Structure 1
C-alpha cells in the first residue's frame, strides 16, 4: 500500500520542486511545509502548511494528514562563504529541523509510517589512495561536512525507535537542467571555455535529479528499503571528464579546455573550495541491490538529457 499524502520539507528548493511534481503526476497529495504558506500558489493535489524551525512550530493538521515525510530542508552548502555564522546556519538548519520532525512524530497525532530524510556524501570526506569506493558503513569524516552530516543524521534517527521506517539517502552532486551544480559547470562554457577544476583528477559522485527523485519515491513505496543508502549514480567520473563531456554536449568541438589552478579556487571560494577539489568515489551498490534501477547510470546519458542541443 503506497502512502497517499506526502509531507515535504524543503519543497521549494531544486529537488523539492522536482519531487513534488513527480509525486503529483503519480496521483499523490503533497503538503509542503514552509515558513510563509500564504505566499505559495496551491494547485490540485498540492497545499502548503506552516512550520518555523527557529520557534519550533509545525502545523499539527498537516502532520495528522500525512502518511509519509520527505525531509529535504537545510541551508545551501556552497551558496555563501563559510563564515563561522554561516557554518552554524548550515548545521542548525539541518539539526533543528530534524529534531522538530522527530518531536512532532513523538507528540502529535499522526499516522506517518515512513520518513525519508536527506543527508549527503559529505559524510565520507576525501578518497584515500587504494581505498575502495565509500560504502554506507564507512565512518563519518572528521572535517566540517562530515561532522555536519553526522549531526544531521543523528537528529532524525529517533524516529526509527518510534517504529517508523527511516530511510536516509546520502545525496551526491545533483545534476539538473535548472540550477544546482550543472549551472556552475556551464558558466564558463557560455564563453566556450571548459574550466577543469584543479588537476581535474578528483572523482565526482553525481546523480541525475530524475533518478534522485525516483529513488526517494522508491524508498517511499518499498517497505524493504530501510536505513542509509548512497544516492549516487553507479559510474562516478573525474572532474575533467565530466567537464569535457559537458563541453562536447553543448558545443561539439568548438571549445577551449582550461585548468583553474587550486590556489585560484582557494582564493575565490575560501574553505568551500574543499568541496570542488575533493575526490569522493562513492558506491551505489546497496541501492541497486535493493532493486532500484537507474535511468541515467552514466554521465553521457545524463548530460545528453540535461545539456544536449
Structure 2
C-alpha cells in the first residue's frame, strides 16, 4: 500500500483529496499542528513549522508528498506581517521537509505542490499558458518562490509537479460560499465590472488531478489546474443565481473603489481578470468530469455531496 505524506490536509482541498486517495488504496500521513488520534487509513503527525519541529523518522517511508500548506490568502488584510506569513507558510514548510529528505535515505518518488494562477498577470484578452512569464505583483512573486522551493526536491531525483490552481468550486467552502449566502436573500453580488475572467475548477476534478499527478510519470513541472472554459465573474454568479432562485434575484453591483477601501491590496486579486489555458492537461489526456460551468454548478447544487454522478 503506497503512502502519501500531506501538508495542509485538514483544509478544503486536503479533506476531499484524502477521501479520494483512501478510496484508491493509499495510506495517508497528515502533518498537522493539532495532535489528533489516528483514524482508519490516516495517521496524523504533529509538527510545528514555526519552531522547526517535525517527526522526521515518521516521514521517510512516504512514497509521495502532496504540499497544500499555506495561510489563506483571502482570510486577512494584506499587511506587511501578513504578506510575510503568506510566503513563509508556503515555502518554509517545504524547506523543513526538504531538509529531512535530503539528510536521510528515503523512497520519495514525486512531490506534487499546490501553486496558483495568481502566478500570471491580469489580462482581459489573452490566454495564459504554463510557459508564460510570471507577473510582478505580490501574489505572482509568492507563486514564483513557492514553486522554486518545491523544485528543490529535483536535486534528490524526485519528480516535481506544481499545480497552478484556479478558483476552486466547492459547496464546503472557498469562493462560492459567500455568494450562496447572499443568494439565499435574493441578492447576486457582481464585483466591480463583473467582466473579469474567472478561471475555475470543480473540486472533484482538482482532486483527480492531484491523484493522477502522483502516478503519471510524464507529468513534470507546472500545470494550470483549471477547467477548459473560463467564465466572467458576472456570468458565473448569474448562472448560480438562476439555478438557485430561478428569476427571483437582484444583481447587486459592488464598485471596485469600495472593494479597494474594504480589502486594500487584496482587492487586486478579487478584481483581476485571468483567463488561463487548460490545453497542456488536455493534450496529455486528462478528461474533465466538469469541463463547463453549467455541469459544475449543477453537480454542486443538485447532489448531496456536490459530485454529481462522479463521486
TM range, smaller chain: over 0.9
Q: Distance in 2 between matches of 1:52 and 1:263?
A: 40
Partner residue, 1:20: 18
Picking from 260, 270, 280, the partner of 1:266 is: 260
Q: Distance in 1 between matches of 2:178 and 2:121?
A: 22
Q: Deviations over 1:185-221 (max 9, x none)?
A: 2232121111111111000000111100000001012
Picking from 28, 31, 34, the partner of 2:32 is: 34
Q: Distance in 1 between matches of 2:58 and 2:224?
A: 29
Contact 1:249 1:308 in 2 (8 A): no
Partner residue, 1:108: 104
Matched, 1:216 2:216: no
Partner residue, 1:64: 60
Matched, 1:231 2:229: no
Deviation, 1:61, is 2.8
Deviation, 1:130, is 4.3
- In structure 2, runs of 5+ residues without a counterpart are 304-311
Partner residue, 1:50: 46
Matched, 1:295 2:293: no
Contact 1:7 1:62 in 2 (8 A): no
Q: TM-score, normalised by structure 2?
A: 0.94
Deviation, 1:29, is 0.4
Q: Deviations over 1:53-108 (max 9, x none)?
A: 22222212321221100000000001111111111100111110121122222112
Contact 1:63 1:108 in 2 (8 A): no
Q: TM-score, normalised by structure 1?
A: 0.95
Off by >3 Å, runs of 4+ in structure 1: none
Note the 1:152-171 alignment, pairs <5 A: 152-171=146-165
Matched, 1:206 2:200: yes
Picking from 118, 122, 143, the partner of 2:118 is: 122
Partner residue, 1:277: 271
Picking from 89, 94, 105, the partner of 1:93 is: 89
Q: Distance in 2 between matches of 1:42 and 1:256?
A: 48
Contact 2:6 2:28 in 1 (8 A): yes
Q: Deviations over 1:131-175 (max 9, x none)?
A: 3x1011111111100011011111121101221010100010011
Q: Distance in 1 between matches of 2:260 and 2:91?
A: 28
Contact 2:224 2:281 in 1 (8 A): yes
Matched, 1:139 2:137: no
Q: Distance in 2 between matches of 1:50 and 1:149?
A: 26
Deviation, 1:41, is 4.2
- In structure 1, runs of 5+ residues without a counterpart are none
Contact 1:16 1:72 in 2 (8 A): yes
What CA RMSD, in Å, does the superposition of the two structures yield over aligned residues? 1.3
Contact 1:101 1:156 in 2 (8 A): no
Partner residue, 1:246: 240
Contact 1:125 1:145 in 2 (8 A): no
